[in-house]
Amino acid sequence: MTDLSLASRPVRRIGFGAMQLPGPGVFGPPKDPETALAVLRRAVELGVNHIDTAQYYGPDVSNDLIHRALHPYPADLVIVSKVGARRDEAGGWLPAGSPAELRAGVEANLRSLALDRVDVVNLRVHAPAEPDARFEAQLDTMAGLREEGLIGGVGISNVSEAQLRRAAELTEVACVQNPYNLVDRASARVLAACEELRIAFVPFFPMGSGFPGANRVLDHPALVSTAARLGAEPGQVALAWLLAHSPWLLLIPGTSSLAHLEENLAAGDLALDAVALATLDAAAP
């Protein structure tokens, strides 16, 4: 696997997403904090140098765990966070995209992670749409925070192709985070634009964990049969397919299990043959 860069910081193509470390619904503390800390430490031991988080995971829970497990941070570790949302007292997800809220979100990440600068911060927009004055003002705020040295790079998340292209006109974009996996390819045009613009694309829910009910990715017959033929786990095949799908994809699979962590990272060594790639490429709805 060839490394990519985030804000000029090289990262390996499989990182770690901290969203699953807090309690149920990404709210409150984990049931087993010591295992959560062990997962983070083991990830770094196995070569992970890209961790994705957010202050509103918990809130503060995932950032606190990262700080407790890894501070002082390894020199090559790239921490990526996000702003643009907040949690209510019941754990609900609310937008928080005003300039003041974006600044407060960055400052909250700096405090909870004990950093002077967050390597990359993604602007999470409420929904993909056409670019508008509000979106441009949010980008201006993020660029200003980068100029102040509080963040190293500006990413964008949950955006349309038009928003990505407008953002790239207005400022340097470090990465794009949109949903993308074997069965959800709605962001295919965004991915294609990232390839054209040479911007890293970081798919969230790469193994379908964001779907309610049955897992439409891991239970997909094409994935299950391919994994059985290759002697691999379905999740490993789902990740390996993404790595083969585009050289501009960076993965951040998350887990609160040491066994699943090692399984996910081993996907980087799984080679998919031509039959597997053709079968999985054709598996989209």
Q: Which residues are catalytic?
A: 57
> What residues form DSSP beta bridges with 200?
175
Q: What's the rounded Cα separation, in Å, for the pair 53 and 78?
A: 11
CA distance 167 to 165: 5
CB 119 within 8 A of CB 7: yes
Helix axes 33-45, 258-266, angle to 10 degrees: 30
Q: Which residue has the tokens 């949302």?
A: 85
In Å, how far from its chain's centre is CA 232? 24
Cα–Cα–Cα angle for 98, 206, 44, nearest 5°? 85
Find out whether 118 and 155 touch, Cβ atoms under 8 Å.
no
Closest CA to 112 of 73, 152, 59: 59
Strand partners, 122: 82, 155
Residues 6+ apart with CB under 8 A from 2: 13, 247
Q: Report yes or no: 280 and 223 within 8 Å, Cβ to Cβ.
A: yes
